[in-house]
A and B are shown apart, each in its own frame.
Chain A
Amino acid sequence: MTQEKKISVKKPAYLQNDILADEIREMMKSKNKLFFNIMGSIGAGKTFLLERIAEKLSPYFRIFVINGDIATTIDADRIAKKGVDTVQINTGGGCHLNAKLIKNELDKINVDDYDIFFTENVGNLICPAAWDVGAQKNIVVVSITEGEYVIKKHPIIFKGAQIAVINKCDLDGLGFDSQVLVEDAKKIKSNMDVLCTSAKQITGIDELIASLGIKIQ
């Protein structure tokens, strides 16, 4: 004879991901490492900003960058030219990185060989918001060419971020307006750092590095 039994579970569906993400965060903290998750839409300038950050930091810190893209190793190869180690994760159809994918890569290296870790998440403003990768800070990059409504249209990812970067500010005034995006970001989350950058003209990069809590002595 069989019977039906209801089992109460009450656990998040991403339990495995959240546990793994917390483990990564704890591990990084115990080893005194920094780990940042960079999100943003396609073409916002995530890779270009990481190249600029790498240029500034690589003389002082050992850096490891994990790039997530559907296909190709273009971004990892670009950033590697700036004197940091990189690895590309090809997610196939996957629209976000997750803690398991990060863990797999960290297991292949010696974490103690590095000081600072970055991920460049898959380009989109929707799915990465829901998947914790174990970073200490989430950074969302948007560029002023994405239109003045880009932040209003994607509030959730900003609600979960500690830093919003408004990039391509060199194009300010040329039919694009950075101020609108700065104000929207502040309105969505009053306690978030909001910065204007130009990866092209190398402005705002020092402020971004300071906002990450990295001090170059």
Chain B
Amino acid sequence: MHEYSLASAIVNQVKQIAIEHKALKVNKVTVSADPYEMIIPELLQDAFKIIITEIELFQNAHLELLKLPAEIICLECEFKGEPSEEGDKEFAYNFKCSKCGSRDTHLNIRHLTIESVDLEILE
């Protein structure tokens, strides 16, 4: 349900960047998120399309969503990185530390990030 808010946050920031670079058009916006951002990609795409219909700069813009792997921080040994396997059946997000095996781990949620924008600019 928050895809619409996210899409509008993306468009607002990209619009700012496009204006700074005196761009004629925004061609592509690339964003990345890990699985725990809880984004439904289709909804994000739909929201993006709806929001840009009114904005001249974005008429040809398309949105690319890169999916990142999960990242954990171990509270036992401070390991930071990809978990060793999917969380246990009961506690879906209690991932196992790939260094010490503890399940006392925190998710390091990497929020939806604007990676890059492809702009059409005057030479």
Contacts and interface: CB of A to CB of B under 8 A. Distances in A.
Interface of A: 1-17, 94-96, 98, 124, 126-127, 130-131, 152, 155-156, 159-160, 184, 187-191
The B interface, classified by DSSP as helix, strand, loop or mixed, is mixed
A22 to B, nearest CB: 14
Interface of B: 1-2, 5-6, 9-10, 12-13, 17, 21, 24, 27, 31, 36-38, 75, 90-94, 104, 106-107, 109, 111-123
Contacts of B115: 8-10
19 contacts: A1-B123, A2-B24, A4-B119, A4-B120, A6-B116, A12-B111, A12-B113, A14-B6, A14-B112, A94-B5, A95-B1, A98-B5, A124-B1, A130-B111, A155-B94, A160-B109, A187-B94, A190-B104, A191-B75
Contacts of B13: 9, 11, 13, 15-16
Contacts of A130: 2, 37-38, 111
Contacts of A94: 5
B116 A7 contact: yes
A159 B93 contact: yes
A96 B2 contact: yes
Nearest to A155: B93
A190 B12 CA distance: 38
Contacts of B9: 13-17
A155 B27 contact: no
B31 A13 contact: yes
Nearest to B93: A155
Contact of B120 (A2, A98, A131, A159): A2
Contacts of A96: 2, 5
Contacts of A14: 6, 9, 111-112
Given A4-B119, A126-B1, A187-B91, A13 B112 contact: yes
Which of A14, A98, A126 is most buried by chain B, counting CB atoms within 10 A of its CB?
A14
A1 B109 CA distance: 42
A13 B114 contact: yes
A7 B21 contact: yes
Nearest to A14: B9
Contacts of B10: 13
B5 A159 contact: no
Contacts of A155: 91-94
B37 to A, nearest CB: 7
A131 B112 CA distance: 12
B122 A7 contact: no
Top 5 nearest A-B pairs (CB, nearest first) are A155-B93, A13-B112, A95-B1, A9-B114, A1-B123
Contact of A159 (B21, B24, B107, B118): B107
B119 A7 contact: yes
A3 B75 contact: no
A95 B106 CA distance: 25
B114 to A, nearest CB: 4
A124 B1 CA distance: 11
Contacts of B37: 130
Which of B2, B10, B31, B75 is most buried by chain A, counting CB atoms within 10 A of its CB?
B2
A1 B122 contact: yes
